Structure 1
Amino acid sequence: MSDRTFLEEISIRSIGVIEHSTLEISPGLTVLTGETGAGKTMILTALNLILGGKSDSSLVRKGSERLVASGSFSVPKSLQDSFEEHGLQVEDGQLILTRTVNADGKSKATSNAISVPSSALAAASENLVEVHAQAANLNMTKAAKQRELLDRFGGKELHSALVNYQSELANYHELKSRITAMKKSIDSRDAQLSELREFAAVMGKLKLERGELHEISNEIGRLSSVEDLRLAAQNASSVIEEEESGSLTTLGITRKSLDSVRAKDPQIEELYQRVSEAFFLVDDAKGVLASYIANLEADPARLDYLNARKAEMNSLIKKYGGSQSADDELIALIERFESSKNAIADLEGGDERLKELETELVGIKKKLVSAAKSLTSVRSENAGKLSKEVTKEIQQLSMPHTSFHCQVQSADYNALKESDFTALGCDEIAMLIQGHKDGPLVPLAKGASGGEMSRVMLALEVVLAATHPVGTYVFDEVDAGVGGKAAIEVGRRLHALSQHAQVIVVTHLPQVAAWADSHFVVTKNSDGSVTESNVRKVVKEDRVEEIARMLAGMESSTSAREHATELLELPLSKR
């Protein structure tokens, strides 16, 4: 997992029932267990805040002024740029995200102690953590989510096909907009041509450059103050160079006085070095001032030229510009001038130009249709692969006769409508399951129970994890509705997923918890609070006790301990 991020530590203070807790999380499979209401899901709530989720003052622990949630992530060099693009600083391969929420509802987000908007955390979370809960299973039944999952599975090839399609779609809409605008402007063509030609002539004569107005204003300011600048520079030079009491003379005497005794005391040596540094800096400044005074000349002709050119620019902005700053308006006018040639050509061409553009539009639409077909083809190919791989995973999750089908339903390419061209192509994606070989294909929303949906989602994530850059997967009781042999298989597949990425699971199932590489137990105090001591990592006998409690629902059960030991000793070869 060296090419992926992973969560190293999560620290929580004053969230819900949790007073204070810090978890150091290792790579591999980590499980969180504990009695209902002990605060396991509060840990995931904290993680949601860290990743830019919506803040809520009701999460602040009663009696506290604020809650604090902080997560430390390890980030490989290959991914650092993607986080820095969002304004998040990665230092020594570590990204620390912190979120505070006050009791009055105000929240603050920081990245390595630097304030950032919470939206930056949300944008960065796409490459950090993917959270799955029961709500995520419901979301999976939506067509948009199903297309997103297929496109994610398709990787670079599908992304390239989608980008190509979107480029052709943008070209098509841009040219179509030009044609529509041209049709509307034919009646007022002469007036527009006259205005455009006048504007282009003025702009062509001035030959404006981006940033020129700012540079001119600075130069005018300097040339208008030549005498003031010269007087100030000469005064400064005389203060430095005055033979008896000038700063250079004073520093030289001081330096000479210290030089005679500097070997006798390290403090004097340090002062000597500082005075020497100041002496050489002032001496250097003397030379720079002399050069500045020598080159400082009044240039009335240049000043008149600059004032005249600035006046021309301001006049142009007043006539053709809007309400932005002068520099922004100048850039807008330059951009308008750069596109005026095409606009004039469109208007001068009249009906003939319109016909040329409509012919060009036909050619662009052919390219668009071709790009859409290519996208459909790549999606269809990947849908077949995804169906086979997810079916294989599902059947290993105690659903031996169930198969998964991802279908690409494309528009009729022989009778395309304008509305068929969406931003994401001309396809609708449908994910269905088939309960047995000759059974009907049923949409996930109608054909899968809660437990089956959890297993389908898990199977999808196991397949997608090998290609998607997310470093940490979090599952919040997605094993609900699963038990017995199926629960063991869920644990096995979660363990398989953890070979590609870090996996954190909140579970009530001992058959799942038994597969963990790290196991944390959350317990409550008698007053309902959870402190640092109530979140502990369990190993060896303590882990046997926790698995036994999960099996029997009570502590000190001999048969449960035996069963727990059996689960935990499941041979690695069978994992």
Structure 2
Amino acid sequence: MLIALSIRDVILIDRLDIGFEPGLTVFTGETGAGKSILLDSLGLALGDRADAGLVRAEAKQAVVTASFAVAAGHPAQALLADQGIDAGDEILLRRIVTRDGKSRALVNDQPVSVALLRRAADLLIEIQGQHAQIGLTDPATQRDMLDEFGVDPALRETVASLFASWRAAEAARADAEAALESARRDEDFLRHAVEELSALAPRAGEDEELAAARQHLQGAERRAEAIGSALAELTPRERRSAGPAATLRAAARALARIAEADQGPSIGPALAAIERAEEALAEAETLLSRAVSEAEADPRGLEAIEERLFALRGMARKHAVPVVELPALLETFAARLATLDAGTEELARAEAASRAARTAYREAAAALSEARSTAAERLAAAVARELAPLKLDRARFVVSRTDLPEAQWNARGADTVRFLVATNPGSAPGALDKVASGGELSRLLLALNVVLAGESPVGALIFDEVDSGIGGATAAAVGERLARIARETQVLVVTHSPQVAARADVHFQVSKASGRDRARTTVTRLDTTARQEEIARMLAGETITDAARDAARSLMAGS
């Protein structure tokens, strides 16, 4: 409930502090006294649009603070806790507007956005009147109001939970479908790549082995060429030419003949050396011939190795990976192909889960819609009983429940609810704020609040001139219903009706006093005697008669 309102430097108010109590509180005063300033000031604290024109002429800024008492577990506490604000059992909404029109919003003295201030205010208080933002006329809240009136909360929670499960199952189905579609787009490529790589059959480390073998074969070819060249030097280049070995043998034979016949200087040592040279040369030829045979190049083997290396490196370039990664790439592609079959099965399971979740949600939502239809009939009947005493006996109140297309199903169900009214017989029902006049709308909302009293988390209701254009028995009916609502929820009323004022638990008089420099608005809490005098003024006008005072006493006594 609203427990205090502090206003500083707002138009005609320089300083004002008002304390509030449970029950029915009324504000009365002559036209132009400043009752609208009070509502404008409160609206500023609740998040209404800031206007530099609200700042008192001599002041630099206007400040309005509204204080609310809340019980543990109030929705506003949870809202503020999500923003890191500890609300406790009291919530202070403060708004500061400077001379240049800039504003600041604070909740429990912590800076917040105006949007958050307004969201918190919507959970704490509601202003209803001909020119106010009227919560009950908003289709977004009407379904919640109907549910609070006559729908099992457990059913609503079940629908919300099943909707979340359905959304999760549908998201999983979409993911599985996307993954399978992606795999299918690559299927032809994967099958061709796996076929090519499987035919190539790359082995881990194969490129290093082949490179080493090629290097060895290339070295053997060079060795064979060198040995062949050496051997060629030891053999005749032409058939008619004698090789080194033959030359040595001829020299040996010639020396041998001389050695046998000539008794001159000894040539034995020379002959022996030539013979040794011949033997060494023969051994060299034998060894070189054997070496040539052993070092003979294998051109076919080298060609095969180079072809294999070319194939491996070409495949690596094609897939933009190193040769060493080809075996792993083959495994990856093969695994992706394998997931096609598994993906089909996974998608089938996800689709089945999504269908089951949708069915469960739809059944629960249908049960919720049926419960809402039943509650709608009860609510319409209850409001209808309140209309005649409020001089709305020709009006017809309708609660319309409409199924939503599947694309609009949500956590609150598969339907939408609207409060409609027809103010004249035979006319089609329309939206509350489109069909009813200002006075009719105020009384319609009063009837709704009478029926819905205690169902909303809002702890305070403000009615602005709900009695406009009525009097007598109708005004008395309005006062009686306001008092009835006030037994469940704090009610503040700005009124011109003495019948309504007589029902008040607390009565404030708003007046305007003119000084030498400017006018000032003041608010005074009236005691019993002052209340009687004010109600008599409301009955009689400027000149208060004894009869008016007697009538005021009678109204107060009857209340």
Q: TM-score, normalised by structure 1?
A: 0.63
**In 2 relative to 1, CA 347–57 (structure 1 residues): closer, same or farther, beyond 3 Å?**
farther
The 5 A counterparts of 1:508-547 are 508-526=496-514, 529-531=519-521, 534-547=522-535
Counterpart position of 2:357: 364
* CA deviation profile, 1:215-254 (whole Å, cap 9, x unmatched): xxxxxxxxxxxxxxxxxxxxxxxxxxxxxxxxxxxxxxxx
1:477 is matched with which residue: 465, 470, 473?
465
Distance of 2:535 and 2:134 partners within structure 1: 30
Distance of 1:471 and 1:481 partners within structure 2: 28
Q: Give how far 1:503 is off.
A: 0.6
Q: TM-score, normalised by structure 2?
A: 0.65
1:149 is matched with which residue: 145, 150, 156?
145
Counterpart position of 1:410: 403
The reply to whether residue 77 of structure 1 matches residue 65 of structure 2 is no
Letter in 1 for 2:175: R
The reply to whether residue 448 of structure 1 matches residue 436 of structure 2 is yes
Q: Secondary structure at the match of 2:380?
A: helix
Letter in 2 for 1:477: E
Letter in 2 for 1:131: I
Distance of 1:358 and 1:158 partners within structure 2: 26
Letter in 1 for 2:349: E
* CA deviation profile, 1:437-494 (whole Å, cap 9, x unmatched): x866623546534333222211111222222221111112233233321111111101
Distance of 2:33 and 2:169 partners within structure 1: 57
Distance of 1:66 and 1:99 partners within structure 2: 10
Q: 417-426 or 39-48: which moved more?
A: 417-426
> Does the aligned pair in 2 maintain the 1:18–1:530 contact within 8 Å?
yes
Q: Give how far 1:520 is off.
A: 0.7
Distance of 1:108 and 1:191 partners within structure 2: 63
Distance of 1:567 and 1:100 partners within structure 2: 41
**In 2 relative to 1, CA 477–12 (structure 1 residues): closer, same or farther, beyond 3 Å?**
same
The 5 A counterparts of 1:47-62 are 47-62=42-57
> Does the aligned pair in 2 maintain the 1:182–1:346 contact within 8 Å?
no
> Does the aligned pair in 1 maintain the 2:163–2:410 contact within 8 Å?
no
Counterpart position of 1:219: none
Letter in 2 for 1:365: R
Counterpart position of 1:202: none
The 5 A counterparts of 1:412-427 are 418-422=406-410, 424-427=412-415
Counterpart position of 2:488: 500
* CA deviation profile, 1:145-177 (whole Å, cap 9, x unmatched): 432432343462453244235324523542453
Counterpart position of 1:222: none
Distance of 2:458 and 2:337 partners within structure 1: 50
Letter in 2 for 1:95: I
The reply to whether residue 429 of structure 1 matches residue 417 of structure 2 is yes
1:108 is matched with which residue: 82, 96, 104?
104
**In 2 relative to 1, CA 86–49 (structure 1 residues): closer, same or farther, beyond 3 Å?**
farther
* CA deviation profile, 1:163-218 (whole Å, cap 9, x unmatched): 2353245235424532553365234557999xxxxxxxxxxxxxxxxxxxxxxxxx
Q: 110-119 or 500-509: which moved more?
A: 110-119
> Does the aligned pair in 1 maintain the 2:169–2:350 contact within 8 Å?
no
Pairwise CA RMSD:
3.3
Counterpart position of 2:179: 182
> Does the aligned pair in 2 maintain the 1:31–1:518 contact within 8 Å?
yes
Distance of 1:180 and 1:70 partners within structure 2: 55
Letter in 1 for 2:479: G
> Does the aligned pair in 2 maintain the 1:10–1:22 contact within 8 Å?
yes
Distance of 2:337 and 2:390 partners within structure 1: 67
Letter in 1 for 2:2: L
Distance of 1:29 and 1:345 partners within structure 2: 75
1:387 is matched with which residue: 377, 380, 393?
380
> Does the aligned pair in 1 maintain the 2:65–2:95 contact within 8 Å?
yes
Q: Give how far 1:502 is off.
A: 0.8
Report which of the two structures shows the higher radius of gyration computed on alpha carbons. 2
The reply to whether residue 466 of structure 1 matches residue 454 of structure 2 is yes
The reply to whether residue 487 of structure 1 matches residue 487 of structure 2 is no
**In 2 relative to 1, CA 137–84 (structure 1 residues): closer, same or farther, beyond 3 Å?**
closer
The 5 A counterparts of 1:176-325 are 177-178=174-175, 181-182=178-179, 184-188=181-185
1:552 is matched with which residue: 535, 540, 547?
540
Counterpart position of 1:23: 18
Counterpart position of 2:555: 567
> Does the aligned pair in 2 maintain the 1:7–1:472 contact within 8 Å?
yes
Distance of 2:109 and 2:502 partners within structure 1: 38
Q: Give how far 1:539 is off.
A: 2.1
The 5 A counterparts of 1:322-401 are 349-400=342-393
**In 2 relative to 1, CA 447–65 (structure 1 residues): closer, same or farther, beyond 3 Å?**
closer
Q: Identical aligned pairs, as a percentage? A: 36
Q: Give how far 1:401 is off.
A: 6.2
> Does the aligned pair in 2 maintain the 1:20–1:530 contact within 8 Å?
no
Distance of 2:137 and 2:109 partners within structure 1: 39
Distance of 1:506 and 1:344 partners within structure 2: 76
